[in-house]
Amino acid sequence: MHDLTTIVAEIAEEMQAAPDRGRRADYIAPLARVDVGQFGMAVVNADGQMFTGGSADELFSVQSVSKVFALTLALGRVGDQLWDRVGREPSGSAFNSVVQLESEQGIPRNPFINAGAIVVADVNLGRGRSRESIGEIVRFVRYLADDDTIAVDVEVATSEQETGYRNVALANYMKSFGNLRSPVEDVLALYFGQCAIAMNCRQLAMAGRYLMAAGLNPTSGHRVVSKARARRINALMLTCGHYDASGDFAFRVGLPGKSGVGGGILAVAPGRASIAVWSPGLNAQGNSQLGTLALERLAVRTGWSVFDRGDALPA
């Protein structure tokens, strides 16, 4: 039987020593200032035990990892109608790419590329105000993580409001196809607000437990989503969660995962564990360089890859 305490501690140590740490996301000013030398990791297993390594209590900007929680809320609001407005195929393109939107009539490929997440934000906004909808997603994440201290980093949100030209372009373009209902400014205020939620690895791993636990919140025993919905969100994370590196992430790690340009990744070993890793240096596709490497090592050492279940070690 593997010892998670040792595995997590060893991986954290290996990552501290790793020479190639990737590059920070410098297009969001506050993210360009984060110390690239940091690494954190938290694993919460099906019994609720928590294993941490490195800077697991350091807050970081969750950025696109928030798209998982936003998608969960949107599916709760409109159910399968969401799929009339967003696809569920990998894009094979960069997270902020505009190229497919023209030929595909303003329907984004999936809910995890920026365009798809902006449509999801439009759904979550409904007829409400951005501020209230940001509050709703923060409360949802607090509930999932069982932690009322989680909040939005206003400096990060403001910075993206000021310089998020690509997202403004994507939103206007989709609006021109009639795929956004609310004003572009309001939808983007929600989108930037949710991306600017700050969490640490411990909190993020806790928040992902419902995806490990077939839709249940293990703290309260309440159902967050149905078993089928948890399975489908995991499927989307596996196929689309790392943009044009989703295939490579499946090849190397083999777990549903969602990355963010803050350097965080939430990964799910269904039935076994919810895992958060963080290291601010990114690879060429905008996913955490060391976060991916750490998850690859964790999956190998635990046998947790979803493609490895035949000879998986006992949990």
Catalytic residue annotation: 64, 67, 191, 243, 261
The CA-based diameter of the chain, rounded to the nearest angstrom, is 56
Judge contact between 15 and 290, C-beta under 8 A.
Answer: yes
Strand order in the sheet with 257-259: 50-54, 40-45, 273-278, 264-269, 257-259
User: Closest CB to ligand DON among 279 and 287?
Assistant: 287
**Residues in binding contact with ligand DON, number by CB under 6 A:** 13
CB of 104 to ligand DON, least distance (A): 19
User: Closest CB to ligand DON among 8 and 290?
Assistant: 290
CB of 66 to ligand DON, least distance (A): 8
Q: Does 240 bind ligand DON (CB under 6 A)?
A: no
User: Closest CB to ligand DON among 254 and 260?
Assistant: 260
Q: Does 217 bind ligand DON (CB under 6 A)?
A: no
Backbone angles phi, psi at 286, to 5 degrees: 85, 20
CB of 278 to ligand DON, least distance (A): 13
Give residues 248-287 in contact with ligand DON (rule: CB under 6 A): 259-261, 286-287
41 beta partners: 53, 277
Q: Does 194 bind ligand DON (CB under 6 A)?
A: no
- Residue sitting closest to ligand DON (CB): 64
CB of 41 to ligand DON, least distance (A): 18
Cα–Cα dist 236/272, whole Å:
19
Q: Site map for ligand DON, 286-315, x if CB under 6 A? A: xx----------------------------
User: Closest CB to ligand DON among 40 and 262?
Assistant: 262
Give residues 80-119 in contact with ligand DON (rule: CB under 6 A): 95-96, 114
User: Closest CB to ligand DON among 136 and 160?
Assistant: 160
What is the crossing angle of helices 130-145 and 114-125, to 10°?
100
Residues at the interface with ligand DON (CB under 6 A): 63-64, 95-96, 114, 160, 167, 195, 259-261, 286-287
